[in-house]
Every structure is written in C-alpha cells, then in structure tokens.
Structure 1
Amino acid sequence: MKLSTKGRYGVRAMFELALHYPKAPIPLKDIAMNQDISEKYLEQIFSALRKMGLVKSIRGMQGGYELVSSPQDITVGQILRVLEGDLAPVDCILDESVGKCDRYDSCVTKYIWKRIGESINDIVDSISLQDLVDDYRLKEQDYAH
C-alpha cells in the first residue's frame, strides 16, 4: 500500500492544527507555508476534512481552520480514511468486494491480505494527533539541549 500526497499532506496539515490547538484558527496560507504544501492543494484537502467533520472553517479577518475535536480524539486513521478511502492493501478483502473475485472462497492469500489490513488499521487508529504533537515537542526539547 502506498499513500498519496493527499493523505500524507493531510496528516501534516492536521498536525499543524493540533500543534496550535486550542488557539485561534490558523489561516490556510500559514499552514501551507509552515508545512511547505501548496495552498490550492490544501483547499482540496481541507474541503474533504471539513465535510467529514474533522475541521471547521472560521470566516473573517481572524479566520482560518481549527480542529473540531481535541487532538487526542482524532486519529491518523480517521484522517487517512477521509483522504485515501479504505486502507486495505487489496480490494478483495473489502466487504463490498465479496463475491466479485472468482477465487474469493478458495484464495490462499486472502488471509495474508486481511492480516496486513488489520495491522495497518490497528496502527493508524492507535496514533492520535496528540501523539504526533507530543513526539514533536519531545524532539524539540532534545534539539535544545
């Protein structure tokens, strides 16, 4: 499985919001500059994140984006699923794919793909934005010494 730039940039942008949580909304141009991501591309990413209820936009002079929930309540898995879709390594293990493959019932490798998919989901669902912020701040302290 390979993540697209949409998923990778989305996690970085959400990290930026988490880093400043619960301060004032962060303008998209600031997120773009701090994370070295195109502002136009971020507009697409934040549109999807907003539709799924992970961020909200605030209009006006002091506007921008902010997290809807605390960073500890938003996982990397939630972000990636919004931007990438299901994280299964192969389509045949998705529920809606049952019956589409002629070999589904007798496939000897299906078990491997299911285990890989479960492992991926377990990992990304166990990492919150707060975990990323805590790790970042710990590394900042290490560099300061």
Structure 2
Amino acid sequence: MKVIGKHLTVDMYGCSFANLDNLEFIKNAMLTAVSEANMTLLNFSYHKFEPQGLTALALLAESHMSIHTYPELGYAAVDVFTCGDHSRPDRAVSILKGFLKPEKTKTTNIKRGDFGSESDMKPKVRISIAPLRRVRNTGAKVLNFLSKVK
C-alpha cells in the first residue's frame, strides 16, 4: 500500500509564556502556516483554558493541524497531518517554529498508510522472560556464595 499521508508531530520547548497563552497570536500563526504550506482551511476551532493554555484546531481539506499549549511549561504540542502531494506539512511546521521561537524541538515524521508488506500489518507480540532469568541467576549466586562461606 502506498503512503496515504504525511503526519508530523512536533514538541516545542522553551516557547514564550505570553505567545502560548495568546489565542490571536496562535490563530495568526496557524492561519499563516496553512496559507504558506498550500493547505485549504475548512474551519478553525479553539478552546481557551483557565488559568492558561489553549487548544486550537484547523480543519483542512487535506486533513488537520492542531496545537495544544502549556504556557506554564513553555511547551507546545503541534500536530500536522496532510494527505495528497500538493500540501507541505514541513513548511507549516517551519512557519510555526518561526512564530513560536522554541529553544528546542523534537519532530516525529510518520508515513500514514505505509504498511510495507502484509506481514507488517500483523500485530507483534513480545514476551520477556528476563525477570525469570534474573531470579534463577540470583538464586544460583546466593547458593554459590553460601557454599564458599565456611
């Protein structure tokens, strides 16, 4: 199956408290990013929390963009998911970084719909027996120690 969409999740650290708690600033940043990244805005929705923080969502023809802010931590969680080849989620993230000016970022790029092969679709189950091995090894060490002490 081919890749259906590009999904970028970005953790932005060290952002300004004032910017993260300013709805008009965040809205302007998101609408600029949507426009510059060749995306089509369908709807913009938000919720302002008390005493601080907000969640903003841009519903796009290509999918969505969201920001969750934690001003007290200087942290913003950004999510940009787009389908199709004409939009540029990486450009949107770059614009948001320009607005929020984080000191540090962590970006995760996810290819949505990319299963590779049919075997990749099967759930993988891992069973760890390391704790049992540790108990057995500890018991052997205790017995060894006790046999040496005389």
TM-score scaled to structure 2, two decimals?
0.23
**Greater strand content:** 2
Q: Which has the higher helix share?
A: 1
The two structures have a TM-score, normalised by structure 1, of 0.23
* Higher relative contact order, chain-length normalized (CA < 8 Å, sep 6+): 2
